[in-house]
Amino acid sequence: MTAHALMLQGTGSGVGKSLLAAGLCRLFAQEGWRVAPFKSQNMALNSFVTREGGEMGRAQVVQAQAAGLEPQVDMNPILIKPEADARSQIVVLGRPAFTVAAREYYQHTPELLKVAAAALERLRGRYDLVVIEGAGSPAEINLRQREIVNMRIARLAQAPVLLVGDIDKGGVFASLVGTLALLEPEERGLVKGFIINKFRGDLSILQPGLAMLEERTGLPVLGVVPYDRTLMLPEEDSVYLEAGRGDGAGLIDIAVIRFPRISNSTDFEPLQREPGVHLRYVSSLRELGDPKLIILPGTKSTMADLDFLRQSGLAQAIAAQAQGGARVLGICGGYQMLGERIEDPLRVESEAASAPGLGLLPVATRFEREKRTVQVQGLVAAEAGMLAGCRGLPVAGYEIHMGQTEGPSAAAAFRITQTPQGPADYDDGTLSADGRILGTYIHGLFDSAPFRQAFLAALGRQLPAGDDAPRDTHSLEEGFDRLAALLRQHLDMERLKAVCGLPQGGPARG
């Protein structure tokens, strides 16, 4: 049996397609449908590692979680990870395939379309409904013959398309009508309705515009979804990073360095939701201030972003603040930068054979051609400074890196005990002797509430008045349920199910 399909396309990037798709995945799953997400091609630096060790975009991971599924690379068969010098690494079915310049990428799209089509077909063979997400806008007329993520996928799947517009940006009616006008007749025939997203205000004031939109296009508006900033579900990529998020009155000021090629910024979303924490992203010396904790996050180009630190003056400032008592945490590429040197004899990342690190940890990194992608579980091995009170706590996450970092085993921060392949027994990360500098390869470290709260306590977090104890504020399940309820209330579900070809009574199981 081939699954039903529904595709969300947008008038542009950032209109909310990813979260709407996640909400629909949860909504249909709640009704008993076996539903899976799909996005043929995703350009993102926020990635995830599946149980099988495959790399995929975080947006489809979130959508899979909303559907109650284990993420799998068929849900995002092509991942584009921008690097330095206007080049991108292309990850195909979870594995790095090649690196190309932007202009050269489109030479590969005929073959990549076949990969995407096969992945979609496999999903449609296993589920009742596949919720497909497009990318950017389908009206990029210069890319029409080469794109493999919008209308070419809709035509391939013969999927009904809902066009999403973001009213919070302004000009939503012109965006919807203009997008429709630039589509080919066959493509317009696939568009079955509109969703207006991120609405604030009085719906009665909007009604004349909705009526005119329907009259002009002959297509229905299937819903107006309110803007709800309290959902706090993971964002798709670093384009959404804000200057500061969290409790502005918090006692712990955390500054995350916003590298030009920052990756896996989702590592810090659990911290943003904690009371007593003010987390902000900084990209200049002027913005750094005097934080309690400085975080060097992951990056797609360690060497290039290390040079950015030096050119901006941030490298010297971070070293000075570390000497003055500030804590510094490096994750993945940030961990590599904290060491004494980085070696790249195979020119994996750049033309430089080596570069000095910041010298804050007694480690050295050597880049290798093979990328390590694996889920991990383990325990905190150290007991000092930032990890005081954390020893023995379980941690879990995933590794995505090209380099191997070596240092004294006595300084190991974590002990990895399990991967999906079976028991493991090796060190991860390094904690300085005074406990103020910490590096690790574990992405998703702060998803664990017990570790996160012990870590913040070691930093001196004091909860606001009225909070008797730390609490887990990172409840994805609650967020998904609230998002599904929001969509159920504000979308015309009967018409939407009719568009998908789904029976109103729910799935029939034999």
Assigned token pair, 317 = 């400032």
Cβ neighbours, 10 Å, residue 240: 11
Burial of 31 (0-12, 13-18, 19+ CB in 10 A): middle
Close Cβ partners of 251 (under 8 Å, ≥ 6 residues apart): 276, 460, 461, 462
Binning the chain into helix, strand and coil, the percentages to the nearest 5 are 35, 30, 35
- Rounded to whole angstroms, the Cα distance separating 361 from 247 reads 31
Specify whether 390 is catalytic.
no
Give φ, ψ of 87 to 5 degrees: -120, 160
* Active-site hit among 4, 278, 443, 490: 443
CB 2 within 8 A of CB 117: no
342 bridge partner residues: 355, 365
**Centroid of chain to Cα 359:** 30
Write out the H or E segment, with its range, that includes residue 379: strand 364-380
- Rounded to whole angstroms, the Cα distance separating 374 from 474 reads 23
CB 250 within 8 A of CB 286: no
- Rounded to whole angstroms, the Cα distance separating 209 from 489 reads 21
Beta-strand relationship, 327-331 and 341-343: unpaired
DSSP 50: -
* Active-site hit among 25, 332, 390, 500: 332
Specify whether 443 is catalytic.
yes
Amino acid at 86: A
Catalytic (active-site) positions? 332, 443
